[in-house]
Amino acid sequence: MIIEKTFCPEIINYVLKEPQVWQEVCGQYNECIEDFEPDLRNYIYLVGHVNMDIVGLFIIHGSEYGYQCHVQVLPEYRKDYAMEFGKKVIDWTWNNTDINKLIALIPQKFPNVIGFAETQGFKDLGPIGQDHFMVLEK
């Protein structure tokens, strides 16, 4: 698997506008899919490729809690590549940025995502509203 930083809106949208991904992530905020444009100035987007196929997208942005991250693996690749993708994008982040702590706010309604974050080393520090506040330090 190859991990690369991308500034290409078409690649970012390919993952985020996939119907299941959009419904799980953006749909909960009532954003209109047609109006969405990636924030290329304030966000870091990492794309994972296997045999030239896009597997997923890792998104990092500043928040009131620090550097917040989001993992989006396309549904057809989750079983075979999610774990590897998670490990490689975290390694890329540690090796290519000055970021030394990542946080994730994961809705309680996604226990599988919470479990995935824990397998990647994130610690659950408890709830913030309807989310689990998860932290990973370098």
Q: Judge whether 64 lies within some domain.
A: yes
Does any domain span residue 83? yes
Q: What domain range includes position 8?
A: 2-98
CA distances from 63 to 57, 66, 68, 102, 131 (A): 19, 5, 6, 11, 15
The answer to the question of residue 138 being in a domain is: no
User: pTM for this one?
Assistant: 0.92
Query: What's the rounded Cα separation, in Å, for the pair 38 and 72?
Result: 14
In a domain, 111, yes or no: no
Asked if the structure places residue 113 within a domain, the reply is no
Residue 131 lies in a domain: no
Tens-of-pLDDT digits for all 138 residues of the chain? 999 999 999 999 999 888 788 777 765 555 666 777 889 999 999 999 999 999 999 999 999 989 999 999 999 999 999 999 999 999 999 999 999 999 999 999 899 999 999 999 999 999 999 999 999 999
